[in-house]
């Protein structure tokens, strides 16, 4: 956790150039950002890979075989750069041997020791100027929980991260206040299994208690919740969701729309539970944006099971879908299941659901045409600036003089293209309306 803002003296008494490369989930991103803060506080310079770092810290992921491959790719890239390579994260946790086989000099750090990396960096390198470019992420993830007590049959994460552990409320509050003091407009509460927040604390706490405390004790304009299981959304949480500062956006993994597959996956809900949970949320917050994850081609998923998934997805007004082909993870239960699905079929099903996902995204954006949304500006492109709204839609803002990255801007949505809303600053619309009023006169 970032302890305090680095003083100028500490910043310029730096030691080396360090690149932190991250794969995977928001929790990994939050952990990388905390490493960067700690390294910067210690006077090191955070750089991009292109800037020839002295040290490369690679925070890996093992959620799919593709993530494993990308982790190894980043390690090899760092080695080619002649940097000292430190590897951590979920891939490193489960594949220590494989990493040592790539190069015996690579230092592998356990997931639970990540926050100590700062103390393992030797002080023998030199570096250039301080560069805060990595601080430019505009919606920082705040890790409030780690680990998972569930045992989904396809998932290797509990092996890599252990059982659920929560960060005490006062520490979360001071981290959010830190971001607030730097002018950030949004934080994303993140964890591996966020819904179990606080159950391990003494006395027990809950995610709703945490949210309540954040609302009372911080002024950060926007609070987003990264991912929750359907059965973890209770009445207290739904009440908090109506608060203005809580983003009207939830990500609720479905994984499959077939009850037999859900059982094989060892998920803790049925399709009926999922559907009634979604109905309850929409009744309370009708404008909410709900995204989901779906795994296709899980063992035993035949035509019928896939059709069930497709039908269920079509019946729910999701605002986007993240669709993944099932990826057999070593040492998980699902790798031993018979009825593994051929790669070509998985590919076909991914395409079908991604198309449905795109159509749903556009439907949701269309509902926002004519509305005013507050966006956090995150990027600049040829046509203007791009930002994220509270309901998670991306908005391209044209006609945008004086708008800078990181700003919270009220925009008016006029249309959409390729899954992105298109808008103008709301104040320009007022101007436009006044002008047409005078023309009419
Ligand atoms: S809830 Fe299931 S999918 Fe998510 S981390 Fe835990 S075991 Fe994995």
Report pLDDT for 15.
73
pTM score of the predicted model: 0.88
pLDDT of residue 122: 60
Is the distance from CB of 232 to CB of 239 less than 8 angstroms? no
CA of 35 to the centre of ligand 1 (A): 24
Question: Closest Cα to residue 185, out of 136, 227, 220?
Answer: 220
- What one-character-per-residue DSSP string does 378-402 give? EEEETTEEEEEETTS-EEEE-S-TT
User: DSSP state, 6?
Assistant: P
Q: Which of 408, 426, 427, 409 is nearest to 371 (CA)?
A: 426
C-alpha 192/C-alpha 83 separation (Å) is: 30
CA distances from 398 to 380, 421, 424, 429 (A): 10, 11, 6, 12
The string of DSSP codes covering 149-216 is: ----TT--HHHHH-S-EE--HHHHHHHHHHHHHTT--EEEEE-SSGGGTTTTSSS---HHHHHHHHHH
- Integer Cα distance of 219 and 44 in angstroms: 30
Whose Cα sits closest to atom 8 in ligand 1? 155
If you ran DSSP here, which 8-state letter would residue 290 be given?
A: E
| Owner of token pair 């606080």 | 198
The reported pLDDT for the residue numbered 123 is 52
Domains of the chain (ranges plus CATH)? Answer: 8-133 (3.40.50.12160), 138-247 (3.30.750.210), 250-367 (3.30.750.200), 372-440 (2.40.50.140)
The angle at the Cα of 328, spanning 322 to 334, to the nearest 5 degrees, equals 105
Tokens matching residue 396: 């391209």
CB distance 267 to ligand 1 below 6 Å: no
Q: How far apart are CA 305 and CA 142, in angstroms?
A: 37
CB neighbourhood size of 120 (10 A): 10
Which positions ≥6 away from 333 have C-beta within 8 Å?
Answer: 151, 153, 154, 266
Of the candidates 272, 320, 323, which has an alpha carbon nearest to the alpha carbon of residue 298? 323
Cα 439 from chain centroid (whole Å): 47
What pLDDT, on a 0 to 100 scale, did the predictor assign at position 14?
Answer: 46
- Chunked into runs of 10 residues, the chain (441 residues) has average pLDDT values of 39 69 92 88 88 93 94 94 93 93 92 84 46 59 95 96 96 95 95 97 98 98 97 97 98 98 98 98 98 98 98 98 96 96 98 98 97 94 93 91 90 95 87 56 43
Beta bridge partners of residue 18, listed in sequence order:
46, 55
Q: What angle do CA 11, 13, 15 make, to 5 degrees?
A: 100
Partners of 290 in beta bridges: 250
Q: At what angle do helices 303-315 and 271-284 cross, to 10 degrees?
A: 10
Place of tokens 């690579």: 106
290 CA distance to ligand 1 middle (Å): 19
Neighbouring C-beta atoms of residue 408, cutoff 10 Å: 16
- Nearest-angstrom CA–CA distance, 12 and 34: 19
360 lines ligand 1 (CB under 6 A): no
Note the pLDDT of residue 125. Answer: 43
The pLDDT value given to residue 112: 86
Contact 142, 31 (CB under 8 A): no
CB of 164 within 8 A of CB of 193? Answer: yes
- Report the separation in Å between the CA atom of 63 and the middle of ligand 1, taken as the mean of its atom positions: 10
Ligand 1 pocket test, pick from 154, 158, 226 with the greatest ligand atom count within 8 Å of Cβ, gives 158
Query: In ligand 1, which atom is closest to the CA atom of 149?
Result: 6
- The answer to whether 294 and 255 have CB atoms below 8 angstroms apart is yes
Q: Is the CB of 148 under 6 A from ligand 1?
A: yes
Neighbouring C-beta atoms of residue 216, cutoff 10 Å: 8
pLDDT of 435 reads 57
373-411 pLDDT tens trace: 999 999 888 889 999 999 999 999 987 778 888 999 999
């Amino acid at each position: 956790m970032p302890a305090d803002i680095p003083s100028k003296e500490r910043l310029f008494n730096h030691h080396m150039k360090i690149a932190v490369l991250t794969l995977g989930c928001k929790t990994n991103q939050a952990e990388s950002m905390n490493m960067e803060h700690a390294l910067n506080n210690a006077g090191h310079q955070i750089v991009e890979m292109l800037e020839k770092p002295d040290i490369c810290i690679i925070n890996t992921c093992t959620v799919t075989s593709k993530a494993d491959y990308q982790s190894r790719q980043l390690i090899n890239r760092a080695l080619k750069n002649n940097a000292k390579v430190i590897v951590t994260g979920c891939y490193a946790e489960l594949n220590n041997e494989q990493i040592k086989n790539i190069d015996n000099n690579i230092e592998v750090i356990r997931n639970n020791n990540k926050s100590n990396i700062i103390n393992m960096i030797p002080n023998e390198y030199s570096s250039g100027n301080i560069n805060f470019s990595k601080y430019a992420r505009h919606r920082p993830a705040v890790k409030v929980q780690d680990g998972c007590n569930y045992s989904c049959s396809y998932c290797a994460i509990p092996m890599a991260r252990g059982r659920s552990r929560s960060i005490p409320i006062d520490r979360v509050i001071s981290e959010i206040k830190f971001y607030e003091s730097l002018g950030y407009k949004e934080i994303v509460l993140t964890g591996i299994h966020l819904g179990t927040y606080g159950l391990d604390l003494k006395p027990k706490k809950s995610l709703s208690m945490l949210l309540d405390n954040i609302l009372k004790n911080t002024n950060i304009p926007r609070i987003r919740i990264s991912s929750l299981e359907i059965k973890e959304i209770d009445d207290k949480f739904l009440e908090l969701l109506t608060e203005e500062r809580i983003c009207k956006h939830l990500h609720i993994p479905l994984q499959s729309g077939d009850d037999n597959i859900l059982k094989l996956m060892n998920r803790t809900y049925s399709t009926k539970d999922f559907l009634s949970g979604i109905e309850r949320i929409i009744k309370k917050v009708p404008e909410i944006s709900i995204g989901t994850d779906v795994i296709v081609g899980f063992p035993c998923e035949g035509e019928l099971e896939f059709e069930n998934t497709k039908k269920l997805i079509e019946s729910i007004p999701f605002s986007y879908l993240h669709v993944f082909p099932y990826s057999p993870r070593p040492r998980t239960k699902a790798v031993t299941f018979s009825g593994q699905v051929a790669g070509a079929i998985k590919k076909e099903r991914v395409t079908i659901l991604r198309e449905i996902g795109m159509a749903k995204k556009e439907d949701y954006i269309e509902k926002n045409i004519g509305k005013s949304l507050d966006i956090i500006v995150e990027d600049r492109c040829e046509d203007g600036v791009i930002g994220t709204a509270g309901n998670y839609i991306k908005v391209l803002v044209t006609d945008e003089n004086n708008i800078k990255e990181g700003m919270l801007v009220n925009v008016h949505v006029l249309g959409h293209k390729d899954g992105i809303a298109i808008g103008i600053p709301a104040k320009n619309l007022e101007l436009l309306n006044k002008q047409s009023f005078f023309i009419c006169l």
